[in-house]
Chains A and B, each alone.
Chain A
Amino acid sequence: MKISSKKIAIAVVASFALTSVAYSGSAVAAGKSITLNFYHDKNGWDARFLAVSTALNDGVGIKLKPSTFADTTIYQNTLNQAAKTGKGPDLLTWWSGYRMVDGAKNGIFADISDVWASAIKAGDVSPDLQKQFQVGSKTYGIPNGVSFWPMFYNKKIFAQYGLSVPKTWADFINICDTLRAKGITPLTASVDGAWPAFIWFEQLLISQDPQLYLDLTSNKIKYTDPKVKTVLQIWKGMIDKGYFTAGDTSFFGEAAVALMNKGTMIPVGTWNNSAFSVTGGLVGGKDYDAFVIPNINPALTTQSIIVEAGAIGALAKGKNLRKAKVALREWLKFPAQAMWADVSGDGVPNPKVPVADPVIKGLSKYVAANKVNQIQRYWESGPVPLIENGCAILSAFMLGKKTVDEVSTEMAALSDKEWAAWTAKYGK
């Protein structure tokens, strides 16, 4: 076989280049960087991911190339297929809790327990968060942010009608009645896409009895339990009083700003904070703010708030897995976390990063000072078919198509079926 002089030249140059990289100790030092494909289904979040990309590039010479999937279902399906073939992203967003179990069992995620061990050792993340991303003894994702689910409200309209942040449930109801009397729909609720139906269900449960919520989501009590029915009755009373927006209300982006401008309160994750501050141009702490919803049950000594921690993982069969894990470790360090906090206006898992946004800062301070219970979101707290189909049943309830008894009976039957299927599949 004849080897051309051109091929020899290429080989010499290539080997020289490889040697240079090896001796330089890192790609960064050699001025090289690698680009990792990053898939996500978070519309409008590219700016956040590109900000992290800048930090990762500065730190370890890794850039991110984000690709947004507008439809979450298509996104999940794409990754299920990628899990089989390895053709897909190097990094991806997912969900924690039970949804992480499905993803891990389907072989989507690489085990990144070593990333966590290193990050915990360096104090870059609280070990309390790890269990949300664990399946058995392995950990499959890092948190992309730590979002509380408070009630966002319009400060100017509160001031206009002499309202202040509620300390009791009676205060809260008084605010709703006052706004309603002024022609303002007090509270946002929606069944658009079905999933928002769980928002008020979980909120009222934790405001009434957080332990009840935890027992219900861990299948220790039935949905037909009288205590659950009591919560549904409270919800029904609020629906009947006309506190909630129409079921097909959207509450993201500009729609959220429109609701806020009208004075309607919005219970949503703090990841939606940028909709008000960036999209809407509202000034946090001046035009709008957020509070922890008071307890319904006055006997409770502490308040509770829902916490959501979305996941970022590495594709198990990804061709750049080693680099992907390096990127995840870097993602939890100060520069990337600070970038994320700045661009998103949301909380981050790294405790060293100061919270800049006034709304999130005030909320975090309140949660810490009052030792508010932080409870995992309903969406991640049960087998996927139970949550998805449960939201369809709750949607019917919100629209007045089902009674309290019907909802509790149907939810109980669904829960029995899906927990049995889950146990048969994964064990207890």
Chain B
Amino acid sequence: MIQTENKLGRLRGSTPWSSWLAFRGKLENAKSQRCKEGFGTYLFLVPATIGVLFVLLYPVLRTLWYSLTDTEGAGLGKYIGLTNYKTLAKDPILLRTMSNVAIWTVGTMALPVFLGLVIAYLALGLKGSAVYRMIFLLPYVLSGVAVASIWFHIFQTKGLVNQFLAGIGLEKYQQSWLLNYPQNTISMIIAATWSGTGLIVILFTVGLQNIPLHTVEAATLDGANGWQMFRSIIWPQLKQIRAVVIGTALANSLRTFDIVWVMTQGGPSRTSETLGVTMYRESFLLNRYGYGASIAVLLMVLVVSVSYFFLRVGLKRESSI
């Protein structure tokens, strides 16, 4: 190899294209080097790839298979084709579950994402803003179960909300928050907002801190007021982080489970079930693993397609600007 290179070097030096040939030689060497590195890189990737295939792909394929069987968890079950999906399409609970998922999605966009942005924006210029952000982040470190337990006692009929309303003379607004639809779902969205807003504040803060200062200064010199500054300068430049925040929030709202399971177990009378809760109930409470798997597949398709289209649209807009 060294010998060839030397030979080529001598040849190159004796022609008018010497510099071009030298460049080609280096390029070929680099390519060859890259090939070697590439092979090594792939080797290094093998364990991780096997891990991902085993941990992520295998359960998905297994779930897909289960959804085509009547398994009850203790065995592989019998192949029954699309029966589970046909049953799911006719199941009256599907409509309620999907409407709850819609409320969760809208609620998550309306509350944690909006509040997260507002708090991040308002706290940015304040003295000690890191402390404010930390305060909002604290509930995020609690587990979903702990958050749900706290808020269960707040929204319970004899809980803090109703006691507070009684304390300020607003007894007529007292109600059983967790026992009526859709107040139960809305109450749980509030609990999720308390828990999840902190992280969104941090993400938006990172986005805000990455906005080039000269764009803000230019707008200030042009006499932009607060709203104009936000609408025309800040908001457009938050596109990337916005796509991440909203995409994550969307996926989380579609998959909502722990808060609902602890606060209401999807009740009363299945009024607050989400797809995740219905899947869990059918699989693990009623031992209908096959049917539960079909709900899991529906949930997976929903999360993947919504996330995909959202990010695709978001990124398209991003590149067009």
Whether B74 pairs with A107 at a CB distance below 8 angstroms is: yes
Establish whether residues B269 and A399, one from each chain, have CB atoms under 8 Å apart when the complex forms. Answer: yes
How many Å lie between the Cα of A73 and that of B288 in the bound state? Answer: 13
Q: CB distance B287 to A248 under 8 Å?
A: no
Interface-facing stretch out of A17-25, A346-354, A384-392: A384-392
Q: Which chain B residues lie closer than 8 Å to A249 at the CB level? A: 157-158
Judged by a CB distance under 8 angstroms, whether B156 is at the interface is: yes
Closest to A401 in B: B269
- In the complex, the answer to whether B284 meets A399 with C-beta atoms within 8 Å is no
Establish whether residues B286 and A80, one from each chain, have CB atoms under 8 Å apart when the complex forms. no
Cα distance, A108 to B268, chains bound together (Å): 31
A77 within 8 A of B: yes
Q: A106-B287, A246-B158 are in contact. Are A83 and B74 (CB under 8 A)?
A: yes
Shortest 8 CB-CB contacts between residues of A and residues of B? A246-B157, A396-B269, A106-B74, A77-B284, A80-B73, A395-B268, A395-B269, A191-B268
Do B157 and A102 touch across chains, with their CB atoms under 8 A apart? no
Q: How far is the CB of B292 from chain A (nearest CB, A)?
A: 11
Shortest distance between the CB of B241 and any CB in chain A (Å): 36
Tell me if B179 is interfacial: C-beta within 8 Å of chain A: yes
Measured between beta carbons, the chain A residues less than 8 angstroms from B267 are: 191, 193-194, 392, 395
Q: Which B residues from 256 to 282 make CB contacts under 8 A with A?
A: 265, 267-270, 280-281
The distance in angstroms between the C-alpha atoms of A248 and B283, with both chains bound, is: 25
- CB-based contact B179/A191 at 8 Å: yes
Nearest CB of chain A from residue B286's CB, rounded to whole Å: 5
Question: CA separation between A194 and B270, bound complex, in Å?
Answer: 9
Contacts A248-B176, A248-B179, A399-B179; A388 near B268 (Cβ below 8 A)? no
Which residues in window 64-94 of A have CB below 8 A to B? 73-74, 76-77, 80-81, 83-84
CA distance A9 to B23 in the complex (A): 73
> A253: CB under 8 A from chain B?
no
Closest chain B CB from A394 CB (angstroms): 9
Which one of B72, B178, B284 contacts A248 once the chains associate, using CB atoms below 8 Å?
B178
Q: Is B285 an interface residue (CB 8 A)?
A: yes
A393 part of interface (Cβ distance < 8 Å): yes
Instruction: Assess A396 versus B280: contact at CB under 8 Å? Given A107-B74, A191-B179, A248-B156.
Output: no
C-alpha gap A392/B265 in the complex (Å): 11
| Chain B nearest CB, measured from A297 CB (Å) | 29
15 A-B residue contacts at CB 8 Å?
A73-B284, A76-B284, A77-B73, A84-B74, A191-B179, A191-B269, A194-B268, A248-B156, A388-B285, A389-B286, A392-B269, A395-B268, A399-B180, A399-B269, A402-B269
Question: Measured between alpha carbons, how far is A77 from B265 in the docked complex, in Å?
Answer: 16
Taking beta carbons and an 8 Å cutoff, which residues of A are in contact with B? Answer: 73-74, 76-77, 80-81, 83-84, 102, 105-108, 191, 193-194, 246-249, 384-385, 388-389, 392-393, 395-396, 399, 401-402
CB pair B179–A74 under 8 Å, yes or no, is no
**The one of B74, B268, B285, B286 that contacts A247, using a Cβ cutoff of 8 Å:** B268
**Assembly CA distance A102 to B156 (angstroms):** 34
The CB with the most chain B CB atoms within 10 A, among A76, A80, A248, A395, is that of A248
Instruction: Give the Cβ gap from A80 to chain B, nearest Cβ, in Å.
Output: 4
Contact, CB under 8 Å: A388 / B286: yes
B159 to chain A, nearest CB (A): 9
Q: A191 — nearest CB in chain B belongs to which residue?
A: B268
**Do the beta carbons of B265 and A193 come within 8 Å of each other?**
yes
With both beta carbons as reference points, the residue of chain A lying nearest to B72 in the complex is identified as: A106
In the complex, chain B residues whose CB is within 8 Å of the CB of A102: 287
A257→B115 CA distance, assembly (Å): 41
Q: A77-B284, A106-B287, A191-B179 are in contact. Are A248 and B265 (CB under 8 A)?
A: no
CA distance A106 to B285 in the complex (A): 14
User: CB distance A80 to B74 under 8 Å?
Assistant: yes
Interface residues of B in 273-318 (CB under 8 A from A): 280-281, 283-288
For the complex, what is the distance from the CA of A249 to the CA of B286, rounded to whole Å?
Answer: 25
Which residues of chain B are near A399, meaning CB under 8 Å?
176, 179-180, 268-269
B280: A residues at CB distance < 8 A: 73
Q: How far apart are A412's CB and chain B's nearest CB, in angstroms?
A: 16
Q: Please pick, from A246, A384, A388, A393, the residue contacting B269 in the complex, using a CB distance under 8 A.
A: A393
Q: Which chain A residue lies CB-closest to B270?
A: A392
Most buried by B among A249, A388, A399, A402: A399
Within 8 A of A (CB), among B36-90: 72-75
Chain B residues with CB under 8 A of A84: 74-75
A383 to chain B: closest residue by CB: B286
* CB closest chain-A residue, reference B287: A102
Taking the nearest CB of chain A, how far is it from the CB of B80, in angstroms? 13
- List of A residues within 8 angstroms of B156 by Cβ: 246, 248
Indicate if the CB atoms of B74 and A73 lie closer than 8 Å: no
Q: How far is the CA of A302 from the CA of B88 in the complex (A)?
A: 47
| Among B158, B268, B288: residue with most chain A CB under 10 A | B268
**17 new A-B contacts at CB < 8 Å, known A194-B269, A246-B176, A401-B269:** A73-B285, A74-B284, A76-B284, A106-B73, A106-B287, A191-B267, A194-B268, A246-B156, A246-B179, A247-B157, A247-B268, A248-B178, A385-B286, A392-B269, A392-B270, A395-B269, A399-B179
Max chain B C-beta neighbours (<10 A), residue from A74, A77, A388 = A77
CB nearest neighbor in A for B178: A248
Chain B 235-272 interface 0/1 with A at a Cβ cutoff of 8 Å (1 = within): 00000000000000000000000000000010111100
